[in-house]
Amino acid sequence: MRRRPTGSTGGPVDDGRTASGAAHGEWLTRGKDGRLTLYAPTGGGLLRWTETAVGGPRWSGPHFVPVAGLTHLSVAQGANGYVHFLGRREREGADGTTGADVVHAVQYQTGLALSDWRSLGNPHRDRDDPGVLAAPVGAVAEDGTVHVFLRGADGGLVLRREAPNGKWRAWEDLRGGGLDARPAAIALTDGRVEVCAAAETGVLVWSQSAPGEDFTGPRGFSLRPVPGTVAALETAPGRATFFWTDAESGGAAAWRAGDWPVSLGGTPAERPYAVLRTSLDGYDCAVLACRDKDGAAVLGMGGTENESAGFWWYALAETCQGSPALARDGRGRVVMALIGTDGTPRVARQEDGDGLTLTRWDVLGS
């Protein structure tokens, strides 16, 4: 029997509410108490499912959080466990015109209500043209500073971030041009933030020389990722590896600044890869998940920063919307989540034993 969903204030919402797709970023998170939470966009807001105990297998939800006019949802988690929600919102003004802005909210503790949604404004002069405002992506620095990136109207990268006093700085123009709509931003454990984006000319990278400093770049590289597929993973202290679908080979590729890209094979992804670093059979491994061109979920794995030794891919008997998500639960097991074509989340966990074999898929909310 399907559980009756409840709103963020405890009130009921319509039965049968389902996800409208997958969120961008870290939409499967682990809280300080070890429980996982899954977030997904839906009409008029977002849905949330939460483990009832560390390691599952049961989940509460869905709980509905209303956000009128939300068109895109991105999720980022900080080292302190706080989960940050960034959205693109459209609203009709008093004169009947439709405007768009970026909104932000925070969940401080697993299962509790979100903060109020706050508008971060719009970096463009023509704020009445919602078509020019791209969807935001986020990264939370080691000290908890939230960074919001999006493609500007001129095709470059723009940033808004928190100041040390907790207030928000003005929008910053980080330059660049011809960018993909979804840059990949990563917060590194040395306190810095880096951004990588596919562009018409190749790949552009922005970075900080020290935590909290201004961003330098963009540095351009003659590489050819498929737009919309770039993802980032910290594979050594203060060093990011970027993963994408290579436009020439059609398979996955891994790349670190200052090195050559490494082909990983596999089937081409159309959305950003989900990425996770974990230990498998005592080896430091990178795990990737994606949606292939036919809509099927695919799982891959290989040695961290040892991609040339081989990457292993497994097609899964599940189809999904958008990108899957990866996380480790409170017992250290790899967990994969996806949004089914029916709008219902599905979750599978790492089985005991060697390698990475997943359990059967649990359908949430049923």
217-226 confidence digits (pLDDT tens)? 899 999 999 9
Pairing of strands 283-291, 274-280: antiparallel
pLDDT at 126: 63
Q: CB under 8 Å, gap of 24 or more: what pairs does 158-164 form?
A: 158/123, 159/215, 160/102, 160/120, 160/121, 160/123, 164/212
Task: Return per-residue pLDDT of the chain as tens, 366 residues.
Answer: 233 333 333 333 444 689 999 999 999 999 999 999 999 999 999 999 999 999 989 999 999 999 999 999 999 999 999 999 999 999 887 777 788 999 999 999 999 999 999 999 999 876 556 568 999 999 999 999 999 999 999 999 999 999 988 899 999 999 999 998 899 999 999 999 999 999 999 999 999 999 999 999 899 999 999 999 999 999 999 999 999 999 999 999 999 998 999 999 988 888 999 999 999 999 999 999 999 989 999 999 999 999 999 999 999 999 999 999 999 999 999 999 999 999 999 999 999 989 899 999 999 975
Rounded to a whole number, what is the distance in angstroms from the first to the last CA of the chain?
Answer: 6
* Strand 70-77 relative to strand 24-25, pairing: parallel
- The answer to whether the CB of 345 falls within 8 A of the CB of 49 is yes
- What kind of fold does domain 6-269 have according to CATH? Neuraminidase (2.120.10)
The two tokens of residue 302 are 């290989």
Which pLDDT does position 17 carry in this prediction?
81
Count the Cβ atoms, other than its own, within 10 Å of residue 342: 11
pLDDT confidence of residue 12: 37
Exposed/middle/buried for residue 259 (C-beta within 10 Å: 0-12, 13-18, 19+): exposed
Distance between CA atoms of 148 and 163, rounded to whole angstroms?
A: 12
Whole-number Å distance between alpha carbons of 345 and 55? 17
pLDDT in tens, 163-194: 988 899 999 999 999 998 899 999 999 999 99
Two tokens at 338?
């996806």
CB of 240 closer than 8 Å to CB of 233 = yes
C-alpha distances in angstroms, 22 versus 25, 98, 112, 166?
9, 25, 22, 30
Q: What one-character DSSP code corresponds to residue 207?
A: E
DSSP code of residue 327: E
**How much is the pLDDT for 9?**
35
pLDDT at 96: 74
Residue 115 Cα distances to 31, 129, 252, 301, angstroms:
16, 28, 38, 37
Which H or E element spans position 328?
A: strand 321-328
Q: Where are the domains of the chain?
A: 6-269
Fill in the amino acid letter for 157: L
What residue type is 282 in one-letter code? G
